[in-house]
Structure 1
Amino acid sequence: MKVIRFQDWARPVPPVRREVRSATPEVDEGKTPLLFVPGFGHGAWAFAEFWLEHAAGRGFPAHAVSPRGHGGSGDSPGATLRAYSHDVVQAAASLPRQAVLVGHGAGALVVERALARYPARAAVLAAPVLGGWATFANALRRNPAGTLPAVFGGRLRMRPRQLFSREVPQAVAREYAGRLGRASARAQWQLLLHRAPEPAVGDPPVLVVGSPDDRIVPASALTRAARRYGGAPLLFPGMGHDMMLDARWREPIDAILDWLDKSGS
């Protein structure tokens, strides 16, 4: 682990207003707090819809951060993956106890980068989009009209049926998709060109969850991601990419919380 990074000293990440939404248990049971990190275009609202209150109901203090330029956080047009991970580390460091980081979509890549700077109790990568040209090729094949503009600095557009299973009513899927914002063009490029992240501080346990029916992340990518951490992915057939908003949203969050309870994280 690098204790001092020249880039952090020479070019510090500029501060922005940071949105954090929270749900806390009625009685503090001393359980590890959770910090949810949304993927590109999403904000903390995506977890506030269902997962935060559900986790709090099971005794876990639950928080979700909107990285800069997302949700209610301050704008930052030239934001980088480094800036997004900085926002996650700062939000985690503000919690009273060492947290579990839960990243969804491209937020999983941000969590991987944050783990090199924050000693998390554990981490969960949900439907992880971990970047590279294979990710781009898959997105281009499945959604060429929505993917190509992002190559030239435009907005990456995802269709509702890419994000949700058919169990979600079409009107609801359109409403959620209509709330999506955009990541910075720079961060989108870094997602394609990224290198493997630095090793995590303290070697925390990492769980990978996803769906074999995800139209953004293929099952093979879930398997590769889990193998990097010495395990196998926990799969939920029939669910869409946005697991936290899908019709069966309880299944993955309960599985995540069960894993944390059993592992003592």
Structure 2
Amino acid sequence: MRVAEWARPVPPVRREVLAALPEVDEGRPPVLFVPGFGHGAWVFAEHWLDRAASRGFPAHAVSLRGHGGSGAAPKASLRAYTHDVVQVAASLPRRAVLVGHGVGALVVTHALARYPAHAGVLVAPVLGGWGTAGTALRRNPVGTLPAAFGGRLRLSRRQLFSRRLPDAAARAYAGRLGRAAARAQWQVLLGRPAEPAVGDPPVLVLGSPDDRVVPLPALNRAAAGYNAAPLLFPGMGHDLMLDAGWPEPIDAILDWLEKDTRA
């Protein structure tokens, strides 16, 4: 029994959910995309939602509270973000595939402990702990240090995107990023591990060995937690769903769902 769930319920908030649906419902599991800190559902609406729908998967993306078009939540916690994901997933007509990016992947690991997902996918996962903070401080001290004191975490364009993405597009995307709640940022640093997933769903981990936010050893550790190796996409930045070459990761995810989960 999770006492906090009823003793201190998560306050309600307006949730932004964007969707792209296939022309014909083939009964495939819906895919729910979860963005990370500073990102909203729009990052998946740019390319990945339509790509998934074109291959027969109902595709949805939720903006965590305080992000994108969802309601403001300056005191939000990771538990509140997890609640958002579980509530949206539970509203879908079939068991969903949960796909989390960055810190959204950490949120997905916690959601998997509360929701019987069809499968989970962790994209460039930021799973927390002081090692995460150390890497961020080394690679982007100016943008990271304020976050340690409750300020905004700022990621540079070169952390998020490869040089293959035109600079104008990189600037435009970076300019749309928001901020996460200070409380949630601290909780990521503390790195509380998620409870075991309900029903032991298959989990795929993928990212780029050239990611300047999540280094390759962190990707390997994340995948090892699921007795696997990460699927790698060299030459891409942290935001695989927006970077040049974006079709490759989403097609690999959908291929995996079709082959290994019998979607």
User: SS at 1:199's partner residue?
Assistant: coil
Q: C-alpha displacement at 1:41, in angstroms? A: 0.2
Q: Percent identity?
A: 76
Shift of 1:39: 0.4
Q: Return the match for 1:156 from 129, 153, 158.
A: 153
Question: Which amino acid is the alignment partner of residue 109 of structure 1?
Answer: L
* DSSP 3-state at the match of 2:19: strand
User: Where in structure 1 are there 5+ consecutive unaligned residues?
Assistant: none
Gap regions ≥5 residues in structure 2: none
> Does the 8 Å contact 2:65/2:72 carry over to 1?
yes
- CA distance in 1 between counterparts of 2:106 and 2:73 reads 19
Tell me the distance in 2 between the aligned counterparts of 1:5 and 1:140.
35
Deviations 1:92-111 (A, max 9, x none): 00000000000000000000
SS in 2 for 1:195: coil
Identify which of 43, 56, 60 aligns with 2:57.
60
Alpha-carbon shift at residue 252 of structure 1 (Å): 0.2
Alignment of 1:127 with 2:124, yes or no, is: yes
SS of residue in 1 equivalent to 2:194: coil
The residue number in structure 2 matching 1:258 is 255
Aligned to 1:114: 111
Alignment partners' CA distance in 1, 2:202 and 2:184: 27
Q: TM-score, normalised by structure 2?
A: 0.99
CA distance in 1, matches of 2:100, 2:181: 18
Residue from 213, 222, 226 that aligns with 1:225? 222
Q: Does residue 1:178 correspond to 2:175, yes or no?
A: yes
Q: Deviations for 1:155-176, whole angstroms, at most 9, x for unmatched residues?
A: 0001111100001011110110
1:169-248 matched pairs, under 5 angstroms: 169-248=166-245
User: Residue 208 of structure 1 aligns to a residue in which SS?
Assistant: strand
Q: Amino acid of the residue matched to residue 168 of structure 1?
A: L
Answer whether contact 2:64 2:70 (CA < 8 A) is retained.
Answer: yes
Whether contact under 8 Å (2:130, 2:191) holds in the other structure is: no
Q: For residue 194 of structure 1, report the CA deviation from its aligned partner.
A: 2.3
Give the secondary-structure state (helix, strand or coil) at the position aligned to 2:57.
coil
Instruction: Give distance in 1, aligned partners of 2:217 and 2:148.
Output: 24
RMSD: 0.5
Find the residue that maps to 2:241 and give its secondary structure.
Answer: helix
Runs of 4+ aligned residues of structure 1 deviating over 3 Å after TM superposition are: none
What is the TM-score with the length of structure 1 in the denominator?
A: 0.98
Give the letter aligned to residue 57 of structure 1. S
Deviation at 1:195, TM superposition (A): 1.6
Q: Distance in 2 between matches of 1:159 and 1:171?
A: 14
